[in-house]
Amino acid sequence: MDTKKPITKDYFIKAPTLEVWKALVNQKYIENWGGGPAKMDDKIDTKFSLWGGDIHGKNIEVVTNKKLVQEWYGGDWQKPSILTFKLEEEKDGTRLTLFQTDVPEEELNDIDAGWDDYYLGPLKEYLEGK
Question: Which range marks the domain in which residue 27 is found?
Answer: 7-129
The answer to whether 57 and 40 have CB atoms below 8 angstroms apart is no
Half-sphere exposure of 116 (CA within 13 A, CB side): 8
Averaged pLDDT of the chain: 94
Flag whether 1 is in a domain: no
Q: Does the pLDDT of residue 47 top 70, yes or no?
A: yes
15 residue type, one letter: A
Q: Does the pLDDT of residue 45 top 50, yes or no?
A: yes
What's the pLDDT at 2? 45
The answer to whether 126 and 33 have CB atoms below 8 angstroms apart is yes
Question: At 109, which CATH number?
Answer: 3.30.530.20
Confidence of residue 4 (pLDDT cuts 50, 70, 90): low
Q: What does the pLDDT average to over 101-110?
A: 94
Terminal CA-CA length for the chain: 42
Q: Report the percent of the chain where pLDDT is more than 70.
A: 97
Rounded to two decimals, the pTM is 0.94
Interhelix angle 120-129/17-25, rounded to 10 degrees, is 130
Flag whether 85 is in a domain: yes
Q: Does the pLDDT of residue 1 top 60, yes or no?
A: no
Q: What domain count does the chain have?
A: 1
